[in-house]
Structure 1
Amino acid sequence: MSRRITVPGDRWRREDGPAGGARKPPWALAFVGVVLLIGMHFAAPLSGGVYAFTDWDGFNSANFVGWDNFREIMDSRVQRDALLHTFVLAACYLVLVNVVGLVLALALNRTLKSRNVLRTLFFAPAVLSPLAVSYVWQYMFTYDGAINRMLGGIGLDPLRHEWLGDPSTAIWCVLVVMVWQHSGQAMIIFLAGLQGVADELEEAAVIDGARTWMRLRRVTLPLLAPAFTIVSTLMLISGLRVFDQVYALTGGGPVYSTETLATQVYQQTFVEGRFGFGASIAMVMTVLISILGIANMMYQRRRERRL
């Protein structure tokens, strides 16, 4: 009987035997990994979902309270404001990161001699610790910090302000730090998408008389649709669960003006010891992230097919 030679791409085929056909991969080898995945990524959220319907304080036995925790979220002004702040930060962050990241990518996609250095500089904040970055910015936002000193140095003393101490400006300071740190990440994704835009298409558009804006709108942006899908999904999820920047810059203040759902989870669970109530806020945040993230991805995918 002749023996068939097995090629690398055919390693799951039977080498001999009358039946032939495909051999199933040994799923038993993945058993440990699957168990760990379920234990780390699904067991904890599911158990938290159970505690969301209790009044557990972390020490004593948990008593079932039904939907009372969720009613309190809707009745509490602090929780409603935290939900509103979460939406505002996520929406503004999503738009600004896409715009700034795209502008940087378009500017650094050209044959600048220093483009590699500039790309590294703009991307560097994305790999730094959000807490470390936020503490640096906290010093810059203080009344005697770098921003107010710069304003005073150029003759704009009336604009000096206690940026983090004013409820009307504190949340926008958080937004500035978020956009500053993650625009480089969006830039890298857009740069990867721009590498797939063939030079021939740009040249054909130039020959047809299309100006810069028209080439950007009709050629470049439609071909960047997959990159927009990735960036918008990642940044939307990141914006909805923002915690580090708020915690380091303002701690949720002043006067709860920068509280988000994530900071309220920490506050209610580990500061006030209301583990059940904190779990209910976490469940609300998880549901919102899941719904909005999936809806955004579906919309972006349909948009890709239309372009």
Structure 2
Amino acid sequence: MTTSVAPAPPQPRAESPAFRGPTGRRKGRRTGFLWFALPAIVLYVLVVVYPTLSGAALAFTDSKGGRSADFIGLQNFVRLANDPAALASIVNTVVLTVSLVVVQTIVALMLALGLHQRLRTRGILRTVFFLPFILPSLIVGVLWQFLYSPDGPIDSVLDSVGLGFLAPLWLGDSSIALWSVIVALIWQNVGFSMVVYLAGLEQIPGELYEAAAIDGASGWRTFWNVTRPLLGPATTINLTLTMVGALKIFDQIFVMTNGGPGYATDVLSLVTYRQSFVLGNWGYGSAIALVLAMIVAAAAFVQLWLRGKVEVDR
């Protein structure tokens, strides 16, 4: 006669950090990462968030910097809407931004397409075109101020070929001063846009061009149906960065013209500086800066939204 013994029921094990397995360890790691990120978060709040909110709050006060500020509601924005200098700067900012976005994008794309070919000197040419972008903005302003001076190289070349009578006051004539500044800005920044497009071209598979050639597609049709659509992400990056950068232009104009002659080259960033730090109108200057920030944010949002809509339609 055999006797069987039933196994004892398993005893519940006590919870311990070691028994909790990978879930407990993951939670611990996440908590550790948060502690490591805390100094950066605090620094970001102190350096970026707090000054931004403080500046936005000043826009609704009559702060002069040296006394207590009183809340005045939207009076600074009403003043902005009736200020000829501020309105002229808004127009100049829009003209400068649109010109840079359109002309710089077209020139950069043409350069990228040319330098994407198998040229022996393409490495050198890429460096030459990109070099102005790494120059300090103040140096670029001083350089072009010299080039545009009456005794500068541009007027000297015109004189040497008998066209000296065509040389205007490049930075002193209110009708062309802004366009002279735009040329200098395109010269400085077109290399960056070119590199963005070159990076986009490198991502396009060569098989697509081979297939287009087999189908007998012309160069223009290949560009329009193959290259252009696949450069969409590069175009989005280029347009967004160019637009935001153009809206915030300050250094070059400050050095070359300081907004003159008159209000011919004044832009919002320059008016903000002048009102805040030269005239001491901190409240009014903050209002202009807030408007500029809203324009920059809106422009970037619209660009990204339009690009996303195009991608969805495809």
Q: Return the TM-score normalized by structure 2.
A: 0.90
Distance (whole Å) between structure 2 residues aligned to residue 18 and residue 277 of structure 1: 59
Would you say 1:23 and 2:23 are equivalent positions? no
1:153-172 equivalent positions in 2, closer than 5 A:
153-172=160-179
Distance (whole Å) between structure 1 residues aligned to residue 294 and residue 285 of structure 2: 14
Match of 2:130 in 1: 123
Match of 1:249 in 2: 256
Give the number of the structure whose alpha-carbon radius of gyration is greater.
Answer: 2
Q: Secondary structure at the match of 2:171?
A: helix
Corresponding letter in the other structure for 2:222: R
Match of 1:303 in 2: 310
Q: Return the TM-score normalized by structure 1.
A: 0.92
Distance apart, 1:239 and its partner CA: 0.7
Asked if structure 2 preserves the Cα contact closer than 8 Å seen for 1:226 and 1:304, the reply is no
Corresponding letter in the other structure for 2:69: A
Would you say 1:86 and 2:89 are equivalent positions? no
* 1:197-226 Cα shifts (integer Å, max 9, x gaps): 111100110110111111011100100000
Distance (whole Å) between structure 2 residues aligned to residue 200 and residue 159 of structure 1: 51
Corresponding letter in the other structure for 1:145: G
Aligned match of 1:105 in 109, 112, 117?
112
Would you say 1:139 and 2:142 are equivalent positions? no
Match of 1:281 in 2: 288
Q: Secondary structure at the match of 2:174?
A: coil
Distance (whole Å) between structure 1 residues aligned to residue 224 and residue 72 of structure 2: 55
Asked if structure 2 preserves the Cα contact closer than 8 Å seen for 1:261 and 1:285, the reply is yes
* 1:247-275 Cα shifts (integer Å, max 9, x gaps): 11100000111111000011101111111
Match of 2:221 in 1: 214
Corresponding letter in the other structure for 1:74: A
Asked if structure 2 preserves the Cα contact closer than 8 Å seen for 1:229 and 1:301, the reply is no
* 1:39-73 Cα shifts (integer Å, max 9, x gaps): 21211110001111111111111122111110000
Find runs of 4+ consecutive structure 1 residues off by over 6 angstroms.
none
Distance (whole Å) between structure 1 residues aligned to residue 19 and residue 228 of structure 2: 54
Distance (whole Å) between structure 2 residues aligned to residue 122 and residue 306 of structure 1: 35
Asked if structure 2 preserves the Cα contact closer than 8 Å seen for 1:86 and 1:261, the reply is yes
Structure 2: which 5+ residue stretches go unaligned?
Answer: 1-16
Structure 1: which 5+ residue stretches go unaligned?
Answer: 1-14
